[in-house]
Amino acid sequence: MAHFPENLKPLIRCPVCQKRYDPAKVVLLSEDDRKTALHIACESCGISSLVFLSLGKAGAVSFGMLTDLDRDEVRSFYGREPISADDEISAYRFFREFRGGASECFREIR
């Protein structure tokens, strides 16, 4: 979206308390000419959300969803590949064979 955030400011609101955000506090996650993804932490209610803005034939549309990811975490995880069936099978096999407690488990995974 070429004119982000000026023409889209009215759409960028907290999905919980509807407060408008300070654009300086918004983390831009991805952007192209028709879609934008943002991470926003609301200073009013403390909720973090992912906000997706898109431009279509009907105009600009926004969609917000709550997240427990903070700014640093969302920068790290956004856009990564999702967990695959092979990942799940590997985790299943690891835990099936593992014979330690939780602290040994996390030491082993690192």
Residues found near Zn ion in the complex (CB under 5 A): 14, 16-17, 19, 42, 44-45
The closest of 10, 19, 26, 97 to 60, measured between CA atoms, is 10
Q: Which residues contact 69 (CB under 8 A, 6 or more apart)?
A: 39, 48, 50, 77
Task: Work out how close the CB of 71 gets to Zn ion at its nearest, in angstroms, rounded to a whole number.
Answer: 15
Task: Work out how close the CB of 68 gets to Zn ion at its nearest, in angstroms, rounded to a whole number.
Answer: 15
Q: Identify which of residues 20 and 35 has a Cβ nearer to Zn ion in the complex.
A: 20
Task: Work out how close the CB of 49 gets to Zn ion at its nearest, in angstroms, rounded to a whole number.
Answer: 8
Q: Identify which of residues 15 and 55 has a Cβ nearer to Zn ion in the complex.
A: 15
Q: Identify which of residues 18 and 76 has a Cβ nearer to Zn ion in the complex.
A: 18
CB 49 within 8 A of CB 42: yes
The closest of 10, 63, 13 to 37, measured between CA atoms, is 63
